[in-house]
Structure 1
């Protein structure tokens, strides 16, 4: 893989990790499966995911205003199944529980938005969400890396091996 190919791959890792619902932990697993080195992938994906979650938290009031203008009276309607699940987690486990369980169920961006909506401060939500994203990213990175290594795909890249004619 040439330098530009590697650079392009890392840019894609960053962008996909930054996009809501493409969580860092999922992007990390896919990139490692694809044969990219684990440590740079984990770092780049974590930075992409954390950056957009922090931006969402920083601008949450503007986002709420924009959403209210866009949806009008629909904002006050019955909450979605995801929102009800997140609120249940909030009531049962508080901010730390929602921050750690939410990204696996509804995504880190929606979890951060709901944490603020349910009463979490921007500072505490930022700290707990960053911790959660880092922990899950590391867990999935380590499990994926050692899982691939165990299967013998560590040096070749899982997807490359699947499509090669060897």
Structure 2
């Protein structure tokens, strides 16, 4: 009965972003829970919230795509002239700050795109999950244009891989320390 409560705690801990399997599985192993169920519950807790995030981002992308497809109202010539005149007046005051912000965001976007182009979805899923957060990696993969099904598959594979590596590494470390 005590194990059930611990496994529920491992599952819930792994579901929390930035704690995930990286903290939940080692805690379970250190507490003395059996290795394989600890890995499974840590993996499942993390996977559930990652899949929910992927579905949510996909729904938001679909909503924005549908909204973009709606025809905007075409402004009259007078409205265009008035807007251009107002833009010229405000543009001279904010040019340097606006330009810096656009350059900075464009550089970040270019770096992210280069990583995506170099490693693709499999590389991003495996490397990102191991180094960063699985939730952040899934969000990046979805926003870079990854297909929901492919992102889900690669994130599942990556989570299995990193959960097993983490669990086994902590178990071996515990065995070495307490031998």
TM-score (norm 2): 0.68
Q: Is the 8 A contact 1:86 1:111 kept in 2?
A: no
Task: Tell me the equivalent position of 2:73.
Answer: none
Shift of residue 10 of structure 1? 1.2
Q: Deviations over 1:117-139 (max 9, x none)?
A: 10110011011000000000001
Residue 117 (structure 2) pairs with residue 117 (structure 1): no
User: Which structure has the larger Rg over C-alpha atoms?
Assistant: 2
Structure 1: which 5+ residue stretches go unaligned?
67-75, 154-166
Give runs of aligned pairs for residues 2-151 of structure 1, distance below 5 A. 3=1, 5-62=2-59, 78=105, 87-151=113-177
1:46–1:134 contact (8 Å) kept in structure 2: yes
TM, length-normalised to structure 1: 0.73
Distance 2:6 2:38 in 1: 9
CA contact (8 A) 1:32 1:145 kept: yes
Q: Runs of 5+ in structure 2 lacking a partner? A: 65-101
Q: RMSD of aligned C-alpha atoms?
A: 2.7
Asked whether the 8 Å contact 1:57–1:116 carries over to 2, the reply is yes
Residues paired across the two proteins, number: 140
